[in-house]
Structure 1
Protein backbone atom coordinates (compact mmCIF):
# COMPACT_ATOMS: atom_id res chain seq x y z
CA UNK A 1 0.00 0.00 0.00
CA UNK A 2 1.28 3.45 -0.91
CA UNK A 3 1.69 6.00 1.86
CA UNK A 4 -0.14 9.30 1.44
CA UNK A 5 0.69 12.53 3.25
CA UNK A 6 -1.95 15.27 3.26
CA UNK A 7 -0.50 18.76 3.74
CA UNK A 8 -2.52 21.98 3.76
CA UNK A 9 -2.03 25.23 5.64
CA UNK A 10 -5.60 25.08 6.97
CA UNK A 11 -6.16 22.10 9.25
CA UNK A 12 -9.83 21.89 8.23
CA UNK A 13 -8.88 21.48 4.55
CA UNK A 14 -6.32 18.80 5.41
CA UNK A 15 -8.83 16.81 7.46
CA UNK A 16 -11.50 17.04 4.73
CA UNK A 17 -9.08 15.72 2.09
CA UNK A 18 -7.91 12.99 4.48
CA UNK A 19 -11.51 11.91 5.09
CA UNK A 20 -12.20 11.68 1.34
CA UNK A 21 -9.09 9.59 0.81
CA UNK A 22 -9.71 7.26 3.77
CA UNK A 23 -13.30 6.67 2.65
CA UNK A 24 -11.95 5.62 -0.75
CA UNK A 25 -9.44 3.11 0.62
CA UNK A 26 -6.20 5.12 0.77
CA UNK A 27 -3.89 4.91 3.77
CA UNK A 28 -3.17 8.44 4.98
CA UNK A 29 0.06 8.24 6.96
CA UNK A 30 0.15 11.88 8.10
CA UNK A 31 -1.84 15.10 8.10
CA UNK A 32 0.35 18.21 8.14
CA UNK A 33 -0.25 21.95 8.33
CA UNK A 34 3.28 23.13 7.49
CA UNK A 35 5.88 22.31 4.89
CA UNK A 36 8.40 21.27 7.54
CA UNK A 37 5.97 18.71 8.99
CA UNK A 38 5.37 17.31 5.49
CA UNK A 39 9.12 17.03 4.82
CA UNK A 40 9.69 15.25 8.16
CA UNK A 41 6.86 12.81 7.47
CA UNK A 42 8.15 12.18 3.94
CA UNK A 43 11.67 11.52 5.24
CA UNK A 44 10.31 8.95 7.70
CA UNK A 45 8.26 7.17 5.02
CA UNK A 46 10.78 7.34 2.18
CA UNK A 47 8.25 6.87 -0.62
CA UNK A 48 4.65 7.74 -1.33
CA UNK A 49 2.55 10.70 -2.43
CA UNK A 50 2.15 14.15 -0.88
CA UNK A 51 -1.26 15.72 -1.53
CA UNK A 52 -0.91 19.41 -0.81
CA UNK A 53 -1.98 22.97 -1.39
CA UNK A 54 0.02 25.80 -2.91
CA UNK A 55 1.21 27.69 0.19
CA UNK A 56 2.18 26.99 3.77
CA UNK A 57 3.23 29.34 6.53
CA UNK A 58 6.87 28.28 6.13
CA UNK A 59 7.22 27.51 2.39
CA UNK A 60 5.49 27.14 -0.97
CA UNK A 61 4.94 23.90 -2.87
CA UNK A 62 8.09 24.34 -5.05
CA UNK A 63 10.29 24.42 -1.96
CA UNK A 64 8.44 21.46 -0.47
CA UNK A 65 8.90 19.46 -3.69
CA UNK A 66 12.64 20.15 -3.71
CA UNK A 67 12.94 18.89 -0.10
CA UNK A 68 11.08 15.62 -0.68
CA UNK A 69 13.00 12.33 -0.91
CA UNK A 70 13.44 10.81 -4.35
CA UNK A 71 10.68 8.21 -3.86
CA UNK A 72 7.96 10.80 -3.17
CA UNK A 73 5.53 12.26 -5.71
CA UNK A 74 3.37 15.36 -5.31
CA UNK A 75 -0.28 16.00 -6.12
CA UNK A 76 -0.91 19.74 -6.01
CA UNK A 77 -4.48 20.91 -5.39
CA UNK A 78 -4.61 24.54 -6.47
CA UNK A 79 -6.89 27.03 -8.19
CA UNK A 80 -5.91 27.79 -11.80
CA UNK A 81 -5.22 31.45 -10.95
CA UNK A 82 -2.57 30.46 -8.38
CA UNK A 83 -1.03 27.77 -10.53
CA UNK A 84 -0.40 29.56 -13.85
CA UNK A 85 1.73 26.64 -15.07
CA UNK A 86 4.55 27.08 -12.53
CA UNK A 87 4.52 23.48 -11.35
CA UNK A 88 7.85 21.71 -11.70
CA UNK A 89 8.13 18.60 -13.83
CA UNK A 90 6.88 15.57 -11.91
CA UNK A 91 4.19 17.44 -9.97
CA UNK A 92 0.61 16.48 -10.87
CA UNK A 93 -1.89 19.36 -10.54
CA UNK A 94 -5.63 19.31 -9.97
CA UNK A 95 -7.58 22.55 -10.24
CA UNK A 96 -10.44 23.93 -8.16
CA UNK A 97 -13.35 23.40 -7.85
CA UNK A 98 -12.28 19.92 -6.84
CA UNK A 99 -14.46 16.88 -7.35
CA UNK A 100 -13.86 13.99 -4.99
CA UNK A 101 -13.92 11.45 -7.84
CA UNK A 102 -11.26 13.43 -9.76
CA UNK A 103 -9.04 13.42 -6.69
CA UNK A 104 -9.51 9.68 -6.13
CA UNK A 105 -8.93 8.69 -9.76
CA UNK A 106 -5.84 10.91 -10.06
CA UNK A 107 -4.41 9.45 -6.87
CA UNK A 108 -5.15 5.91 -8.10
CA UNK A 109 -3.26 6.71 -11.31
CA UNK A 110 -0.28 8.01 -9.30
CA UNK A 111 -0.30 4.94 -7.03
CA UNK A 112 -0.30 2.67 -10.10
CA UNK A 113 2.61 4.66 -11.54
CA UNK A 114 4.59 4.31 -8.29
CA UNK A 115 3.90 0.56 -8.15
CA UNK A 116 5.06 0.17 -11.74
CA UNK A 117 8.27 2.10 -11.00
CA UNK A 118 8.95 -0.02 -7.87
CA UNK A 119 8.40 -3.24 -9.84
CA UNK A 120 10.74 -2.05 -12.59
CA UNK A 121 13.47 -1.17 -10.07
CA UNK A 122 13.03 -4.51 -8.31
CA UNK A 123 13.32 -6.50 -11.52
CA UNK A 124 16.62 -4.92 -12.54
CA UNK A 125 19.53 -7.22 -11.79
CA UNK A 126 21.79 -6.19 -8.94
CA UNK A 127 25.20 -4.98 -10.08
CA UNK A 128 27.98 -7.31 -8.98
CA UNK A 129 31.06 -6.00 -7.22
CA UNK A 130 34.50 -6.55 -8.70
CA UNK A 131 35.23 -9.21 -6.02
CA UNK A 132 32.09 -11.13 -6.97
CA UNK A 133 32.94 -10.92 -10.68
CA UNK A 134 36.45 -12.15 -9.95
CA UNK A 135 35.13 -15.09 -7.91
CA UNK A 136 32.83 -16.17 -10.76
CA UNK A 137 35.71 -15.79 -13.22
CA UNK A 138 37.97 -17.97 -11.04
CA UNK A 139 35.28 -20.65 -10.76
CA UNK A 140 34.86 -20.64 -14.55
CA UNK A 141 38.60 -20.90 -15.06
CA UNK A 142 38.78 -23.81 -12.64
CA UNK A 143 35.96 -25.61 -14.46
CA UNK A 144 37.60 -24.90 -17.83
CA UNK A 145 40.93 -26.31 -16.61
CA UNK A 146 39.70 -29.37 -14.71
CA UNK A 147 36.71 -30.37 -16.84
CA UNK A 148 37.96 -29.15 -20.23
CA UNK A 149 34.96 -26.83 -20.75
CA UNK A 150 34.75 -23.72 -22.88
CA UNK A 151 34.12 -20.44 -21.05
CA UNK A 152 30.52 -20.42 -22.28
CA UNK A 153 29.94 -23.97 -21.04
CA UNK A 154 31.50 -23.16 -17.67
CA UNK A 155 29.30 -20.08 -17.35
CA UNK A 156 26.18 -22.08 -18.26
CA UNK A 157 27.16 -24.76 -15.76
CA UNK A 158 27.44 -22.21 -12.95
CA UNK A 159 24.11 -20.67 -13.98
CA UNK A 160 22.37 -24.05 -14.08
CA UNK A 161 23.77 -25.10 -10.69
CA UNK A 162 22.71 -21.74 -9.33
CA UNK A 163 19.14 -22.14 -10.56
CA UNK A 164 18.91 -25.78 -9.49
CA UNK A 165 20.12 -25.05 -5.96
CA UNK A 166 18.20 -21.78 -5.57
CA UNK A 167 21.32 -19.77 -4.79
CA UNK A 168 22.85 -16.85 -6.64
CA UNK A 169 25.79 -17.27 -8.99
CA UNK A 170 28.32 -15.90 -6.49
CA UNK A 171 27.35 -18.48 -3.85
CA UNK A 172 27.43 -21.21 -6.47
CA UNK A 173 30.90 -20.11 -7.60
CA UNK A 174 32.05 -20.22 -3.95
CA UNK A 175 30.67 -23.75 -3.59
CA UNK A 176 32.40 -24.89 -6.79
CA UNK A 177 35.70 -23.39 -5.61
CA UNK A 178 35.45 -25.05 -2.21
CA UNK A 179 34.51 -28.47 -3.66
CA UNK A 180 37.24 -28.52 -6.29
CA UNK A 181 39.99 -27.08 -4.03
CA UNK A 182 39.60 -29.70 -1.30
Structure 2
Protein backbone atom coordinates (compact mmCIF):
# COMPACT_ATOMS: atom_id res chain seq x y z
CA UNK A 1 0.00 0.00 0.00
CA UNK A 2 2.74 2.44 0.95
CA UNK A 3 4.62 1.81 -2.32
CA UNK A 4 1.45 2.47 -4.31
CA UNK A 5 1.12 5.88 -2.65
CA UNK A 6 4.65 6.82 -3.63
CA UNK A 7 4.20 5.70 -7.25
CA UNK A 8 1.04 7.79 -7.53
CA UNK A 9 2.95 10.72 -6.05
CA UNK A 10 5.67 10.44 -8.72
CA UNK A 11 3.00 10.24 -11.41
CA UNK A 12 1.25 13.30 -9.97
CA UNK A 13 4.56 15.19 -9.99
CA UNK A 14 5.18 14.24 -13.62
CA UNK A 15 1.80 15.68 -14.60
CA UNK A 16 2.45 18.81 -12.52
CA UNK A 17 5.90 19.36 -14.00
CA UNK A 18 4.62 18.84 -17.53
CA UNK A 19 1.97 21.49 -16.93
CA UNK A 20 0.51 22.70 -20.22
CA UNK A 21 3.26 21.14 -22.34
CA UNK A 22 1.80 18.46 -24.60
CA UNK A 23 2.87 14.90 -23.86
CA UNK A 24 4.28 14.64 -27.39
CA UNK A 25 6.54 17.68 -26.91
CA UNK A 26 7.82 16.38 -23.57
CA UNK A 27 8.32 12.92 -25.05
CA UNK A 28 10.46 14.36 -27.84
CA UNK A 29 12.58 16.32 -25.36
CA UNK A 30 13.15 13.20 -23.24
CA UNK A 31 13.62 10.90 -26.24
CA UNK A 32 10.72 8.61 -25.31
CA UNK A 33 7.35 7.96 -26.90
CA UNK A 34 4.24 9.96 -26.10
CA UNK A 35 2.67 6.68 -25.00
CA UNK A 36 5.47 6.25 -22.44
CA UNK A 37 4.76 9.68 -20.95
CA UNK A 38 1.09 8.73 -20.71
CA UNK A 39 1.96 5.44 -19.00
CA UNK A 40 4.22 7.21 -16.45
CA UNK A 41 1.50 9.73 -15.68
CA UNK A 42 -1.24 7.12 -15.34
CA UNK A 43 0.62 4.58 -13.22
CA UNK A 44 0.81 1.94 -15.94
CA UNK A 45 4.61 1.84 -16.10
CA UNK A 46 7.26 2.61 -13.53
CA UNK A 47 9.55 5.48 -14.46
CA UNK A 48 12.95 4.12 -15.63
CA UNK A 49 16.11 5.58 -14.13
CA UNK A 50 17.33 7.09 -17.41
CA UNK A 51 14.01 8.84 -17.99
CA UNK A 52 13.91 10.08 -14.39
CA UNK A 53 17.35 11.59 -14.99
CA UNK A 54 15.92 13.34 -18.04
CA UNK A 55 13.09 14.75 -15.94
CA UNK A 56 15.61 16.03 -13.38
CA UNK A 57 17.74 17.66 -16.06
CA UNK A 58 14.70 19.33 -17.59
CA UNK A 59 12.77 20.37 -14.47
CA UNK A 60 15.44 20.44 -11.69
CA UNK A 61 12.66 19.73 -9.17
CA UNK A 62 13.85 18.89 -5.62
CA UNK A 63 10.48 17.43 -4.60
CA UNK A 64 10.68 15.08 -7.57
CA UNK A 65 14.26 14.09 -6.68
CA UNK A 66 13.39 13.30 -3.05
CA UNK A 67 10.24 11.42 -4.05
CA UNK A 68 12.11 9.39 -6.68
CA UNK A 69 14.89 8.49 -4.26
CA UNK A 70 12.34 7.09 -1.87
CA UNK A 71 10.42 5.30 -4.61
CA UNK A 72 13.51 3.57 -6.00
CA UNK A 73 14.90 2.46 -2.63
CA UNK A 74 12.03 2.54 -0.15
CA UNK A 75 14.42 4.43 2.14
CA UNK A 76 15.73 7.93 2.62
CA UNK A 77 13.80 11.13 3.08
CA UNK A 78 10.24 11.28 1.84
CA UNK A 79 8.65 14.53 0.69
CA UNK A 80 6.66 15.99 3.57
CA UNK A 81 3.24 17.16 2.46
CA UNK A 82 0.90 16.27 5.32
CA UNK A 83 -1.50 18.65 7.06
CA UNK A 84 1.00 19.50 9.81
CA UNK A 85 3.88 20.47 7.51
CA UNK A 86 4.97 24.07 7.11
CA UNK A 87 7.45 24.35 4.26
CA UNK A 88 8.11 28.05 4.67
CA UNK A 89 11.87 28.53 4.61
CA UNK A 90 11.98 29.94 8.16
CA UNK A 91 9.94 27.06 9.57
CA UNK A 92 12.04 24.49 7.74
CA UNK A 93 15.24 26.15 8.95
CA UNK A 94 14.06 26.13 12.58
CA UNK A 95 12.90 22.52 12.35
CA UNK A 96 16.24 21.53 10.80
CA UNK A 97 18.18 23.21 13.61
CA UNK A 98 15.97 21.49 16.19
CA UNK A 99 16.44 18.07 14.57
CA UNK A 100 20.20 18.58 14.22
CA UNK A 101 20.55 19.57 17.86
CA UNK A 102 18.55 16.53 18.98
CA UNK A 103 20.62 14.25 16.75
CA UNK A 104 23.92 15.70 17.97
CA UNK A 105 22.82 15.41 21.60
CA UNK A 106 21.71 11.80 21.17
CA UNK A 107 24.81 10.87 19.20
CA UNK A 108 27.13 12.44 21.81
CA UNK A 109 25.42 10.38 24.52
CA UNK A 110 25.65 7.11 22.59
CA UNK A 111 28.77 5.05 23.05
CA UNK A 112 30.12 3.32 19.98
CA UNK A 113 33.47 2.46 21.53
CA UNK A 114 33.06 -1.28 21.95
CA UNK A 115 32.20 -3.73 19.17
CA UNK A 116 28.54 -3.26 18.32
CA UNK A 117 27.87 -7.01 18.52
CA UNK A 118 28.68 -6.78 22.25
CA UNK A 119 26.18 -4.06 23.09
CA UNK A 120 23.76 -4.64 25.93
CA UNK A 121 20.05 -4.28 25.14
CA UNK A 122 20.11 -0.85 26.83
CA UNK A 123 23.11 0.27 24.73
CA UNK A 124 21.52 -1.10 21.58
CA UNK A 125 18.36 0.89 22.32
CA UNK A 126 20.49 4.02 22.68
CA UNK A 127 22.08 3.35 19.28
CA UNK A 128 18.65 2.82 17.71
CA UNK A 129 17.42 6.12 19.18
CA UNK A 130 20.50 7.91 17.85
CA UNK A 131 19.86 6.48 14.39
CA UNK A 132 16.24 7.61 14.51
CA UNK A 133 17.32 11.15 15.44
CA UNK A 134 19.88 11.15 12.62
CA UNK A 135 17.21 10.07 10.13
CA UNK A 136 14.89 12.84 11.34
CA UNK A 137 17.73 15.34 10.90
CA UNK A 138 18.47 13.98 7.43
CA UNK A 139 14.85 14.48 6.39
CA UNK A 140 14.85 18.02 7.75
CA UNK A 141 18.10 18.87 5.98
CA UNK A 142 16.85 17.45 2.69
CA UNK A 143 13.79 19.67 2.91
CA UNK A 144 15.80 22.75 3.84
CA UNK A 145 18.06 22.32 0.80
CA UNK A 146 15.02 21.69 -1.42
CA UNK A 147 12.99 24.65 -0.15
CA UNK A 148 15.91 27.07 -0.40
CA UNK A 149 16.74 25.90 -3.93
CA UNK A 150 13.10 26.21 -5.02
CA UNK A 151 12.69 29.70 -3.56
CA UNK A 152 16.01 31.14 -4.73
CA UNK A 153 16.23 29.46 -8.11
CA UNK A 154 19.56 27.92 -7.15
CA UNK A 155 19.90 24.72 -9.13
CA UNK A 156 19.28 21.68 -6.93
CA UNK A 157 21.16 19.45 -9.35
CA UNK A 158 24.10 21.90 -9.47
CA UNK A 159 24.33 21.95 -5.66
CA UNK A 160 24.56 18.17 -5.63
CA UNK A 161 26.96 18.08 -8.58
CA UNK A 162 29.29 20.46 -6.75
CA UNK A 163 29.09 18.30 -3.65
CA UNK A 164 29.95 15.17 -5.65
CA UNK A 165 32.92 16.95 -7.27
CA UNK A 166 34.12 17.98 -3.82
CA UNK A 167 33.84 14.42 -2.51
CA UNK A 168 35.71 13.16 -5.54
CA UNK A 169 38.52 15.72 -5.27
CA UNK A 170 38.89 14.91 -1.57
CA UNK A 171 39.28 11.22 -2.38
CA UNK A 172 36.02 10.15 -0.76
CA UNK A 173 34.58 8.68 -3.96
CA UNK A 174 36.25 7.13 -6.96
CA UNK A 175 35.76 8.23 -10.53
| TM-score of the two chains, using structure 2 as the length reference | 0.29
Larger radius of gyration: 1
Q: More helix by proportion, 1 or 2?
A: 2
| TM-score of the two chains, using structure 1 as the length reference | 0.28
Q: More strand by proportion, 1 or 2?
A: 1
Q: Does 1 or 2 have the higher relative contact order (CA < 8 Å, sep 6+)? A: 2
